[in-house]
Chain A
Amino acid sequence: MADVPDRTTGPRRAPARWSWGLRRAALPWLMLLPALAVVGGVVGYPFFRTFYLGFFDAPLLGKTRTFVGLANYLHAFRTEEFRAAVVHTLHFTVGSIGLELVLGVAVALFLNRPFLGQRVLRALLILPLALPTVVNAVMWRWIYNPEYGALNALLTQLHLLPGYRTWLGTPGLAMNMIILADVWKNFTLVALLVLAALQTIPAELHDAARVDGASATQRMRFITLPGIRPALLVALVLRTVEALKVFDIIYVMTGGGPASSTKTLSFMVYQEAFSFLKLGTAAADAFLTVALIMVFVGVYLRLLQSRGVAG
């Protein structure tokens, strides 16, 4: 801070320059403090505590903590359960993100043209978006019910299926059905984000290109896609992080089954901590999950930067 004379006797409205300068510097930090305190206290400190616990053999009940170094982490890589959980998580993530992106972009492109009822359809997109996740899970679980579900009824009445199926009772298929339920809810987020981006692309660009003889695909490649790329990447990052963390829909729809085929990383951590009472291994697994998420986000950020888009 600059060296200035004390002017404490100055007018109240115009405080001495040095204290104003200090206030000027301190003020923004002070304003940011509540937010930082809340996030730091509830997320930051526990985060490091969990990280710390990962290096111990820590039964949930009881105060004994035995230092085991990297044993918990190594154990994770060696156990089939952890590897399976990674596979299931990636299955869910890739499946739902892929479908959400494709469906979302398609719907956004579709809704970008004016037609009767376009506004209504755009508003309809909000329905799945604002629907609580647990309600969505319960709704689809009812639809997939093996004895009385609407999906079975519909497909058999349309003669597309010979008999009722256990959608959530078959390994592999169960996860795909969960993906479908998740996509139904979340493709709207992608659609809305991309639609907003599309609407910032001036129509003149397309018109000029058309006049210059560009085909629809060329216009798509050189005008539309670059225009929506930032929105797509935001959607991608948001959805990927959510997908890698997925818990709620798994818990409500299948509880990890059948044959543990829908057990994702978060679900496994929950079970390890609360059902098997092994805090240490649960903490290590939780951290490996965070690492996985950071890898994905890192890749996306690299993509953002390499294409020269502001980020």
Chain B
Amino acid sequence: MSRASTGTAAARAYDVRRRRAGLEAVLTYAGALLLAAFILAPFVWLLISSVAPLADLLQRPLRWIPPHATWERYHTIFFGADGREFRYALRNSAAVAGIATSISLVAGMLGAYALSRFPSRGRTGLLYLMLATYMTPPVAILLPVYLILSRLGMLNTVIGLALVYTSFLTPFLTWILKGFFDSIPVELEEAAMIDGATRVGALRRVTLRLSLPGVITAVLFGVILAWDEFLYALIFTSSVAAKTLPVAISEFTSRHAVDYGLIAAGGIVAALPPLILAFALQRYLIAGLTAGSVKG
């Protein structure tokens, strides 16, 4: 209801504000759509490519929505002979991520508890030193690690790769967990101990329960980071005994570039576990990201 024709300045200001609000809303939703499109478009295209028949993908000019969908590629990946390597890679990725995260979680929790409850400059310095190892490009330590693994007979094994992964998961998980432990007041543990529990008992009853969100966050990051890793897996694995998904996918594309849709399907399957996990636990994901940064 426009009151522009009736005179007061206040009324005019109100209308200006309403129009600006209207414009703002339009811009906001346009911006939202743009952002959503920017994020979704490449991924949706990958999805479409995975079910589009090859002839449609190779057609010029390109048709964006193919008339028929083919699930043959997913069938190949999950049941076909050509998908055998991929299935093994899926199993290996899960195994390596699981083992590496478990070990790092234990080491991280112990370390984080120590750092949180027994703060000392020396130990904090060590934490920063551990975090500083992220500055080392993997190529720098590749060969000595390769030789060590080979001498221990752990090349091309899931456990060997998982051990290597713990080296870069542990500092990060320790840091996240320390942040969570810091947020649990010491008084609660001390109260439990006064009530007669040992430190270990206090740890179990109070701290662990309260730090469950922290543990979930740590596990989430551990799995995502381990699933993502490429270079170590490339060099340290050579057969289906231990080859992980990123390596399997990179091999799909090099000399085997026959069916682009199959590569797309492989990518989707490889991406689903971390994506599903991250979406389901997004609260924890955000918490983990901000745990360290907001406090600086």
Q: State whether B289 touches A273 (Cβ < 8 A).
A: no
A38-B166, A132-B274 given; A124·B110 CB < 8 A: no
Residue B271 is within 8 A (CB to CB) of chain A in the complex: yes
Q: State whether A266 touches B139 (Cβ < 8 A).
A: yes
Q: State whether A28 touches B118 (Cβ < 8 A).
A: yes
Q: State whether A290 touches B140 (Cβ < 8 A).
A: yes
Residue A265 is within 8 A (CB to CB) of chain B in the complex: yes
0/1 interface trace, chain B 76-110, chain A, CB 8 Å (1 if under): 00000000000000000000000000011011101
Residue B293 is within 8 A (CB to CB) of chain A in the complex: yes
Residue A86 is within 8 A (CB to CB) of chain B in the complex: no
A36-B126, A139-B42 given; A31·B293 CB < 8 A: no
Which of A116, A130, A265 has the most B CB atoms < 10 Å from its CB? A130
Residue B249 is within 8 A (CB to CB) of chain A in the complex: yes
Task: Write out the residue numbers on chain B whose beta carbons fall within 8 Å of the beta carbon of A294.
Answer: 135
Could you say which of B167, B246, B285 contacts A133, with CB atoms under 8 Å apart? B246
Residue B133 is within 8 A (CB to CB) of chain A in the complex: yes
Interface window among A40-48, A64-72, A210-218: A40-48
Interface window among A90-98, A169-177, A193-201: A193-201
Task: Write out the residue numbers on chain B whose beta carbons fall within 8 Å of the beta carbon of A279.
Answer: 143
User: By DSSP majority rule, is chain A's interface helix, strand, loop, or mixed?
Assistant: helix
Expressed in whole angstroms, the minimum distance between the Cβ of B200 and any Cβ of chain A is 11
Q: State whether B42 touches A31 (Cβ < 8 A).
A: no
Q: State whether A115 touches B32 (Cβ < 8 A).
A: yes
Residue B114 is within 8 A (CB to CB) of chain A in the complex: yes
Could you say which of B140, B253, B275, B286 contacts A138, with CB atoms under 8 Å apart? B253
Task: Write out the residue numbers on chain B whose beta carbons fall within 8 Å of the beta carbon of A39.
Answer: 130, 133, 167, 170-171
Query: What is the CA–CA distance of A235 and B11 in the complex, to the nearest angstrom?
Result: 46
Query: What is the CA–CA distance of A135 and B271 in the complex, to the nearest angstrom?
Result: 7
Expressed in whole angstroms, the minimum distance between the Cβ of A184 and any Cβ of chain B is 7
Residue A1 is within 8 A (CB to CB) of chain B in the complex: no
Interface window among B65-73, B184-192, B211-219, B223-231: B223-231
Could you say which of B28, B135, B144 contacts A50, with CB atoms under 8 Å apart? B144
Residue A208 is within 8 A (CB to CB) of chain B in the complex: no
Could you say which of A27, A49, A200, A248 contacts B294, with CB atoms under 8 Å apart? A200
Expressed in whole angstroms, the minimum distance between the Cβ of B245 and any Cβ of chain A is 7
Residue B158 is within 8 A (CB to CB) of chain A in the complex: no
A124-B40, A133-B246 given; A35·B107 CB < 8 A: yes
Could you say which of B141, B142, B296 contacts A310, with CB atoms under 8 Å apart? B296
Residue A34 is within 8 A (CB to CB) of chain B in the complex: yes
Residue A127 is within 8 A (CB to CB) of chain B in the complex: yes
Query: What is the CA–CA distance of A38 and B249 in the complex, to the nearest angstrom?
Result: 29
Query: What is the CA–CA distance of A47 and B135 in the complex, to the nearest angstrom?
Result: 11
Residue B204 is within 8 A (CB to CB) of chain A in the complex: no
Query: What is the CA–CA distance of A144 and B229 in the complex, to the nearest angstrom?
Result: 23
Residue A178 is within 8 A (CB to CB) of chain B in the complex: no
Residue A145 is within 8 A (CB to CB) of chain B in the complex: yes
Contacts of B235-271 to chain A: CB distance below 8 A: 235, 245-246, 249-250, 252-253, 260, 263-264, 266-267, 270-271
Could you say which of B43, B120, B231, B293 contacts A248, with CB atoms under 8 Å apart? B231
Task: Write out the residue numbers on chain B whose beta carbons fall within 8 Å of the beta carbon of A38.
Answer: 103-104, 107, 163, 166-167, 170
Could you say which of A27, A113, A193 contacts B118, with CB atoms under 8 Å apart? A27
Query: What is the CA–CA distance of A102 and B105 in the complex, to the nearest angstrom?
Result: 35
A156-B61, A192-B286 given; A34·B230 CB < 8 A: no
Q: A124-B40, A135-B271, A138-B264 are in contact. List 8 more A-B contacts (CB 8 A).
A: A32-B110, A123-B279, A129-B285, A132-B227, A132-B245, A157-B62, A286-B140, A289-B137
8 of the cross-chain contacts (CB-CB < 8 Å) are: A27-B118, A35-B170, A126-B282, A126-B285, A148-B260, A270-B142, A304-B296, A311-B296
